[in-house]
Structure 1
Amino acid sequence: MLQSPVLTALNHLLAQADWARGRLRPFAGRQARIELPPLPTLSFAVDEEGYLRSTEEGGADVSIILSALPLLALGNPEQAFKQAHISGNADFADSLGFVLRNLRWDFEEDLSRLVGDIAAHRIAGLLTGLFAWQRETAARLGENLSEYLAEEQGVLLRPSEISAFTDDLNQLRADLARLEQRIGRLSR
């Protein structure tokens, strides 16, 4: 159900990235399975050209279980793959993981086929600027909220305050240990 569109999209990205197909070609005929609960399992094999072909679930050479769907949805595949459980052939898993982490869509190239090179470049620049603005705005909002909660409301502690508290606590422990030693010497 979901496998065919996903493989079509991945193959489209692979068509734009010769380096990725070159990295997968040595593993022609090998099968892989990617599980991303609650989505259906994705089973595929690498063909001689480095593209992915659908296969039936079964004896996979590599199994990757990703449990970080929110990280993928937020566009952070690196973090998602750090939390993945990978089993099977190490070389194939390494190459497959590298390709999946670093494969990027060149939307400007696809857009240029519809509207031309100049318009696609301008639209891509506009969209890139818009997304950068949104990321920057979200970062500033987070910084302002944390500053408000730390400075105005006193709900959060600044790192310097936590560090000072930790230093005071360590000093208190050392003083207590010295006091216990003195008491022990006096009681003897």
Structure 2
Amino acid sequence: MATQSPFSLLESLLQNLPPLPNLQPPDWAVDEAQRRMVLLLNHILMQETEATSRLARQKGRVVLMQWRPFALKLTATPAGLLDRATAQAKPDLVLAVSEESPWALVQGALRGDKPPVRIAGDVQLAAEVNWLVDHVRWDIEEDLARLMGDAPAHTLGQAARSMAASLRQFLGNAVAPGPTKAPT
């Protein structure tokens, strides 16, 4: 007997809910969340000189990222960092995540998979963005070490990696097909 993942049950319940009235966050909240996202991305980029030099070569180019109703337009600065593009800026590259389910995106991210993305626009810019996604990683443990010291940051990082591995294993077992009987 195959067991069903609790995540698939929760996802099916959420998908069967009637459409909610236009629950859009206020504009100021979206604006502030996008500003914070740009700050985080720039913090990560500044730790990798190759990333900033690659982005500097793309200065002024605009990338539009979309998922469901959420959209963010970013432009590369001459310093090799990111800034939000103006609403009127025409995107050189559009990256639209085609997976609608947030649960499927989380499961894929925990497995280390990239989400399915529809790409339209400049091929060279798309290659640079792909390089950034493949090679730039946030060393959160190093940032934590600046706040709390090396030993506690390492312990916290090790605990987080252990929890993530356990969650990956659970998700892998939950979505894996059950054992099959050998024909007799």
Global fold match (TM > 0.5): yes
Counterpart selection for 2:178 from 129, 138, 146: 146
Offset at residue 22 of structure 1 (A): 2.3
Q: Which has the higher contact order (CA 8 A, sep 6+)?
A: 2
Which residue of structure 1 aligns with residue 114 of structure 2? 79
Counterpart selection for 2:164 from 128, 131, 150: 131
User: Is the 1:78–1:101 Cα contact (8 Å) retained in structure 2?
Assistant: no
Offset at residue 15 of structure 1 (A): 1.8
Aligned residues: 147
Does residue 30 of structure 1 match 2:30? Answer: no
User: Is the 1:29–1:47 Cα contact (8 Å) retained in structure 2?
Assistant: yes
Query: Closer, same or farther in 2 for the Cα pair 1:131/1:77, shift >3 Å?
Result: closer
Does residue 48 of structure 1 match 2:59? Answer: no
Task: Give percent identity, aligned residues only.
Answer: 25
Q: 1: CA distance between counterparts of 2:112 and 2:94?
A: 17
TM-score (norm 2): 0.68
In angstroms, what is the RMSD of aligned CA positions? 2.4
Q: 2: CA distance between counterparts of 1:141 and 1:61?
A: 40
The structure with the greater share of residues assigned to helix is 1
Show structure 1 runs of 5+ residues with no match.
152-159, 162-188
For 1:79, what is the secondary structure of its paired residue? coil
Q: 1: CA distance between counterparts of 2:133 and 2:112?
A: 8
Query: Closer, same or farther in 2 for the Cα pair 1:66/1:140, shift >3 Å?
Result: closer
User: Is the 1:66–1:85 Cα contact (8 Å) retained in structure 2?
Assistant: yes
Q: 2: CA distance between counterparts of 1:61 and 1:93?
A: 9
Which residue of structure 1 aligns with residue 149 of structure 2? 116
Offset at residue 59 of structure 1 (A): 1.2
Show structure 2 runs of 5+ residues with no match.
1-30
